[in-house]
Chain A
Amino acid sequence: MDATPEQERIRNFSIIAHIDHGKSTLADRLLEFTHAVSEREMVDQVLDQMELERERGITIKAQAVRLAYQAKDGEEYELNLIDTPGHVDFNYEVSRALAACEGALLVVDASQGVEAQTLANLYLALDHDLTIIPVINKIDLPSADPERVKHELAEIGLDPAEAILASAKTGFGTEEILEAIVRRIPPPKGDRQAPLRALIFDSHYDSYRGVIAYVRVMEGAIRVGDRFRMMSTGHDFDALELACFRPAVEPVEELAAGEVGCVISNIKEVKESRVGDTITSAERPAKEPLPGFRKATPMVFCGLYPTDNDDYDDLRDALEKLQLNDAALSYEPETSAALGFGFRCGFLGLLHMEIIQERLEREYKLNLITTAPSVRFKVTKTGGTVVEVDNPAKLPPPTEIESIAEPFVRGTIIVPTEFVGPVMELCREKRGVYRAMEYLDAARVMLTYSLPLVEILLDFFDKLKSRTKGYASFDYDYEGHVEGDLVKLDILVSEKPVDALSCIVHREKAYNRGRQLAEKLRQIIPRQLFEIPIQAAIGGRVIARETIKAMRKDVLAKCYGGDVTRKRKLLEKQKEGKKRMKALGNVEIPQEAFMAVLQVED
């Protein structure tokens, strides 16, 4: 079926790029050129909404902006720019955003060239049969080498002749890009008379409006007042308002096949509007949902506990709210002997985990104790049953374990040739298995390794960056579970095991890790009025011991009229430090202690 005349004038596209290659700046230029925002409004990169995102220079949530573009063919086009997150952790969200498009701008930095995320995003886009428009950005930089980048584009299967040279900073190439969007990206198709099928590619919870679902209508149409159904749950709701973004909210009466906008409804329950789900009509439902919906699979797990047990309900409410914007976040109640009541949370990756933690603390003002991140092990018990363990403390006793399998990822590292040695060395240290090496050009190679995910959680990124002077780029994707010689390392504080400090490690590394962990904890745990022994143990056998000496003296010698304010501030600081601690019996353990396992060297 061909595009209708209305659809002929719509283009839906995304911008994909490696981090810092200029995606947001290019989006700004497109908005500016099409007068979606004035230059004065362009104070900040408007698509990056949240404070946190701006600080980290990344975009977490996809959003859509409608641009009106007067093309050189004399027609006015409606261009829907669907923003995508730019980090490996958010692959699933990227894939849903791309599923809402017909084409994508692939932005490559003219100096940096193709990077690991460029490739990962390109493959995702190709999976969705998108038309790719390569954009070589930052050509105004003195270090720009567009010819080399074109060569690299050819290496990864793109036609270098189609690449557009641009500078999002100066605005050079913006019009050419807009023209290419109109000419090269096909218009959306989809029968406007068919039963409604709209893809949710993003979803926000707004405390005033409730749930806002960002959708791409694939077939049929939705009108204000329609009753609609979430196909994964079968639950029905009312479309109270429909809108698009220019980028200011603009109400519309209808969203029809090919169009992009948002649905504001009476959805209260935050789990009801999941990214990837299909909206259909309650009166005339579609037979099949759109393909590709899955509950995102968390890869990284940690325990989140309120430092103050009274905050448990607040933490649950906050997680529930965050989950709306984030179908990938999972959580379930968990109890720790050491930490009390909390949640075992699942994340797509480390960055995702950090973002959630920061938001809980910053937006919901919660004081949290976070346990070290772990992965989901598959444990085959002696009886043959397989259990999944995402909390090291829950590992069955050794006598009941037949074998343990851990998740491996396929890691892609793009690095200048001179760093191949150090990177291989690092991968070996991290129990990586070499898979392949390909030359992207004379100066850069792409290394592929199978790596245990748990090792990546330790300090793989930092080490990779430092050993390659920051030149390496890294991307990974889950490969499968592989059996390994894994053991549980327990930590005892004052002779009592602290479940939240347990970790599962490879037997070869267990002794060294245990020693270092005990030593780190000795430095981190503040002194008390009595001695505190710290022990590391494997299967009940103590392999390392450290002692925290008792505090003997902590008193302000002088406190006269001029000292009061300063002394009060000192005491306040001392008290503030305590807030981030959890009392285990009579020992106070600071948040840092639970992360100490991440800082051990191999």
Chain B
Amino acid sequence: MTTPSTIPAVRFRAVARHFGEVRAVDSVDLDIAEGEFFAMLGPSGSGKTTCLRLIAGFEQPSAGTIEIFGEHAEGVPPYRRNVNTVFQDYALFPHMSVAENVAYALMVRGVGKAERLAKANEMLALVKLANFGARKPAQLSGGQRQRVALARALINHPKVLLLDEPLGALDLKLREQMQVELKTLQRSLGITFVFVTHDQGEALSMADRVAVFNAGRIVQVGRPEEVYERPATRFVADFVGGSNVIEPEAATRLRLPAGAWSIRPEKITLSATGNGPLGRVESLQYQGAQRRYVVAVGPDRLSVVTAAGTTAFTPGASVHVDWPADAPTRLEG
């Protein structure tokens, strides 16, 4: 954890949110630093979106306290929080033009028409939609709607911007482009971004820190490298990057000390004459920049990823599996 000593942008203390018997969020402690790009990563139903809605004020905690820049958020309605949201479905007002959508926050505050539309056009230029103000949301593509939602949420200069799977509906190329743009935007504005996603690649590539959620709890928080290289639990090892989880009974067979271990597929090397355990290539997937193997070592299966240019093995071939001494990470419990 690299939490600065200053007042955090968002602080959760033992926060829970129950819906009847369902514990959507169950005792979460969290500090998000000012100016941080923070990702909440987890499968659907893990509580990450509920946490976002707790920050926005759409949900109230069943237990625990939430502070936003040191102020208690309890009972403060969404419209009095200096926090704005980019919704998963964008939630653009269909009866308003793009410019009116972006200017909405200023309109409800009573800013004059000329001033707020000028400001809206400024925001639209920021998200590269300068000439789209007069259109209706229905006339825009998915990527353009996403930018409008971003401009609309940023016009009030929120202290925290919440993004609920904002790239989920976009195609791959657009998503990668938006990842870069969002990161650049966040750097230049210096606003705290809290980003919810189930895509580990997205979380790792954009965030300063990642919190991995499972079953209503945070199982690990850390820089992307920490979470990826040193997963704390079986869940993190498997969910983030699909690591090899080696159970204690398999550890001895693979010449590892007692305990449960995680080894990243790309840390493993294959060779015809090595020192590691001997296995057999079971399957091979060619993926362009890399090859993905499944190697059977006795009763155990290991996933291995090798870079293009290294020696290729065909299914059925006998190979030695090796890894650097620091590659295996011990898993808790």
**B and A form one assembly:** no
B residues within 8 Å of A by Cβ? Answer: none
**A residues lining the B interface (CB < 8 Å):** none
